[in-house]
Amino acid sequence: NAGVTQTPKFRILKIGQSMTLQCAQDMNHNYMYWYRQDPGMGLKLIYYSVGAGITDKGEVPNGYNVSRSTTEDFPLRLELAAPSQTSVYFCASSSPGEVNTEAFFGQGTRLTVV
């Protein structure tokens, strides 16, 4: 049972480059999320999706794009990378409902923009 899988684990980008962070889950969860974690700041929601074909902005969406073509995959796209996007990125998934609403997180992607 893999849970939430993120690739790559580490990446160094040059300013202005672009890349896609991959996220896949095998728990058949409808809800998926991207967070970024910066030291002393907790985790901030970038984008989320409540199902295939449906995405919406979170707290800090600028500079990012997402798509959700399948239930399993939720890639995060960085266009024109900037040093401010240096962070650790976490993908998460969960099921809707009042009971057992635990969000499961991947192991993260550490991105450095130089």
- Give the interface with another protein as residue ranges (CB under 8 A): 4, 31, 33, 35, 40-45, 48, 50, 58, 90, 92, 94, 96, 98, 101-103, 105-108
Query: CB 72 → another protein: shortest distance, Å?
Result: 17
Query: CB 63 → another protein: shortest distance, Å?
Result: 19
Query: CB 105 → another protein: shortest distance, Å?
Result: 3
**What token pair was written down for 111?**
């991105």
Query: CB-wise, 41 or 62, nearer to another protein?
Result: 41
Query: CB 100 → another protein: shortest distance, Å?
Result: 10
d(CA 106, CA 84) in angstroms, rounded, equals 22
Query: CB-wise, 17 or 60, nearer to another protein?
Result: 60
d(CA 12, CA 5) in angstroms, rounded, equals 19
d(CA 106, CA 64) in angstroms, rounded, equals 19
d(CA 9, CA 108) in angstroms, rounded, equals 6
CA angle 94, 87, 16 (to 5 degrees): 115
Query: CB-wise, 13 or 31, nearer to another protein?
Result: 31
Query: CB-wise, 14 or 98, nearer to another protein?
Result: 98
Neighbours of 55 (CB within 10 A): 18
